[in-house]
Amino acid sequence: LDPVRLAGSPMPPARSPAAGLRRRKVFLPLVLVLPLILLTLILIFPSRSIPALRDAALRSQQICDYAAGGWVPDSSAESHLRYDHTCKEIFKGWNCIANGKRNGCALLRWRWKPAGCELLPRLDPLRFLERHRNTNIGFVGDSLNRNMFVSLICMLRGVNGEVRKWRPAGADRGFTFLRYNLTLAYHRTNLLVRYGSWSASPNGGPLESLGYKQGHRIDVDIADQTWAEAPSFHDILIFNTGHWWWSSSKFDPIQSPMLFFEKGKPIIPPLLPPQGLDLTLKHMITFVNKAMRPNGLKFFSTQSPRHFEGGDWNEGQSISRHFISPTSTMRTALSLLSFLAVSVLILAPMAMADGYS
């Protein structure tokens, strides 16, 4: 090679800003289309693709699947508590320690360990407040979600007491941490959908012809008004349902059965509670996905054991069930919502790395 000729060779033309912009315009549609392609695969092959895609997404992020694991004893847990039974937000009827439950303090000596992961680091309330500035977080569901809401509130109020109490978007209760503009709210709903008493009409009807005289009308496609506005208000939504669907004291299968309605008409033949729950979850997943704020995160929590079993509240009950197996639709709902949430976490850094926000 001739060094003189090389030295005199013209330099390659510099990249123009317009060329970089064109590349970004091509990349952004790819980022937006990828979740749609993956979601299409899920809908085509639901039983196999959802767990596989979720597991692949989790592996790619090298994070734990917090939904799998178990409670392990930890003798030091009680000494590291972020709050105790004196927190005023704890519902008096559920404050086991204050009410003298015999093994109440023993419940504090457990920690959650995800499968294949180390023990979760203890929550840092100040870091949580700082990280979730200008964020709305909603808990939607029964008393299990209420307990999680109260626990988080108690931990955060332990380090920052500048709060405003109010009821955003129809919530049962809510708090805004003023310095951080962080709002947490609890929306009480037992079945997620609207329900009320039903009585047979003297003019007859489909249910009357089957011999039904009274019961509870469950509209599987209409969200309960207590949380209907929650998806459009919150950035993060955690919702649950489960125990009330098998509450014989409330929905007696003979005296006051669940009677399911869709599009305003009774479903014939009538559904059993597990089938009604499956149909409800399908409708509510569709509702949440349509109503949720852009880039919102959605989580569905499965069931856990009830508040107490095997005796009165103040006795040392032994819960023989270590895990309550959710229905197939519950697992599908959890997998689908987790996958959508993980997709956002994967794609957002990719877009931001290329100059988008």
pLDDT at 316: 46
Cα of first residue to Cα of last residue in the chain, in angstroms, is 47
Alpha helices in the chain (DSSP H): 3-8, 17-44, 46-61, 125-131, 143-157, 206-209, 230-233, 273-291, 328-353
pLDDT at 35: 58
C-alpha span between 113 and 252 (Å, rounded): 38
pLDDT at 346: 29
Question: What is the value of pTM for the model shown?
Answer: 0.69
Please give the torsion angle defined by the CA atoms of residues 109, 115, 118 and 119, in that order, rounded to the nearest 10 degrees: -20
Is the distance from CB of 254 to CB of 215 less than 8 angstroms?
A: no
DSSP strand pairing (297-300 vs 163-166) = unpaired
DSSP strand pairing (258-262 vs 214-223) = parallel
**Residue 192 corresponds to which tokens in the numbers above?**
């997620």
Domain ranges across the chain = 18-68+330-357, 124-307
Is the distance from CB of 234 to CB of 185 less than 8 angstroms?
A: yes
pLDDT at 80: 74
Torsional sign, CA 17, 18, 19, 20:
positive
pLDDT at 304: 63
Residue pLDDT tens, the chain, 357 long = 444 343 444 444 444 555 555 555 555 555 555 556 655 555 555 444 455 555 555 454 556 777 788 888 887 776 777 788 888 888 888 788 888 888 778 878 888 888 878 887 888 999 999 999 999 999 999 988 999 999 999 999 999 999 999 999 999 999 999 999 999 999 999 999 999 999 999 999 999 999 999 999 999 999 999 999 999 999 999 999 988 998 878 888 888 999 999 999 999 999 999 999 999 999 999 999 999 998 899 998 877 665 555 555 445 444 443 333 333 333 333 333 333 333 333 222 222 222 222
C-alpha closest to that of 221 among 293, 272, 285, 273: 285
User: Which residues on neighbouring strands pair with residue 70, listed in sequence order?
Assistant: 113
Burial 207-218 (b: 16+ CB within 10 A, else e): beeeebeebbbb
Phi and psi of 174, rounded to 5°?
A: -160, 155
pLDDT at 28: 53
Q: Report CA Rg, the chain.
A: 26
Chain centre to alpha carbon of residue 202 = 42
C-alpha span between 348 and 332 (Å, rounded): 24
